[in-house]
Amino acid sequence: MSIFRETLGRQGFSPSKGSKPGEKGRLKSGKDGVILEIVKANPFREYVLNFCIDLVLALLSGSILFSSNAFPAGREVTQAGKDLFRLTVLFNNVPFRSDLETGWGFSCLIEGPEKTILFDTGADGDTLLSNMHRLGLDPGIVDAVVLSHIHGDHTGGLRTLLSLRSGITVYVPVSFPQDFIREVRNLGAAVETVSGPRKLMEDVYSTGEMGSAIKEQALILDAREGLIVVTGCAHPDVADMTRKAATFLEKPVYLLTGGFHLGGSSEARIREMIARLKALGVKKIAPSHCTGDNAIRMFREAWGKDFIDGGLGAVIEFPR
């Protein structure tokens, strides 16, 4: 068995169930963006819907969340790279698009920086690549991989990706096992270890390795409206990781997304975390993966219109 899967750590959480087969999306406008809700599939509606999405994206300048079956490879990638940060959730146990395959784990593609980044790789490469294909994304666009922590539900797809895309750089916490690092290098990738907070590339940073029992880094994007912080599981405490990002770059956090490691937590614990994140000034929030269904519900209630669905297939865009 590959070392990428031997490190699997589910922490006893159960993945959420997906949406019903044959369901698609419905466009719903809101003050801060555009969201697609699940409705019964209809070919004519889908055609009109895709046309509307293209029109809306051309007109809106603010943040956007959308999910569309008509998202061809390379669609406006060059333009988005100049003006936008685009986050696409490729692997997740929390569903959003019903035509994608859920699985326990997390992976998110980040377009817009000078290099296209894959943040975590999910639990297995076949599911990761299948979802990329359905989203119209070519694995060849990945220039760098950032791994949050050693658990296999975040590293399991790396071997498959590197078999198609060698020569890229993989950023890992400095505590990663040497045999893991050697195997990545044997697959043709360069490896950079991250200890403290640091710049990875223009407008892209790491919190540095945090925590004790399970060490982890979060990714930071320096966007026009504030920082975008992406966590894998946030084992070291999601509020502490958020504070580290804000303190390091001396800017407020505009969006916090990813796994918050609150599955199975008491409501008192979740309320405490909500209060801490509110005190840190987090404007928008998109929890998923190991956050837990109850915690996600409570975050949705607490953030209201500033809550963003961050499940599998969600696409989130913000001006750079």
Summarised one tens digit per residue, pLDDT across range 60-106 is: 434 344 433 233 334 444 445 568 999 999 999 999 999 999 999 99
CATH number of 71-319: 3.60.15.10
Using alpha carbons, list the distances in angstroms from residue 320 to 86, 108, 202, 282.
9, 18, 11, 18
Cα 212 to the center of its chain, rounded Å: 23
Surface-to-core class of residue 152, CB atoms within 10 Å of its CB (0-12 exposed, 13-18 middle, 19+ buried): buried
Surface-to-core class of residue 225, CB atoms within 10 Å of its CB (0-12 exposed, 13-18 middle, 19+ buried): middle
CB atoms within 10 A of CB 230: 25
Reduced to 3 states (helix: H, G, I; strand: E, B; else coil), residue 174 is coil
Residues composing the chain: 320
The CATH 3.60.15.10 domain(s) of the chain lie at 71-319
Q: Write the pLDDT tens digit of every residue in 111-125.
A: 999 999 999 999 999
210-215: long-range contacts, CB 8 A cutoff, minimum separation 24? 210/236, 210/240, 210/241, 210/244, 211/235, 211/236, 211/237, 212/236, 214/9, 214/149, 214/150, 214/151, 215/149, 215/150, 215/173, 215/175
CA atoms within 13 A on the CB side of 58: 7
Cα 277 to the center of its chain, rounded Å: 19
AA identity, residue 249 = L
Which pLDDT does position 36 carry in this prediction? 36
AA identity, residue 264 = G
Mean pLDDT by 10 residues, the chain (320 residues): 54 39 39 38 47 46 37 42 89 98 98 98 98 98 98 98 95 98 98 98 98 97 97 98 98 98 98 98 98 98 98 97
Using alpha carbons, list the distances in angstroms from residue 277 to 62, 230, 237, 238, 256.
23, 14, 11, 8, 9
**Calpha distance 142→247 (Å, rounded):** 29
AA identity, residue 277 = L
**Calpha distance 102→200 (Å, rounded):** 30
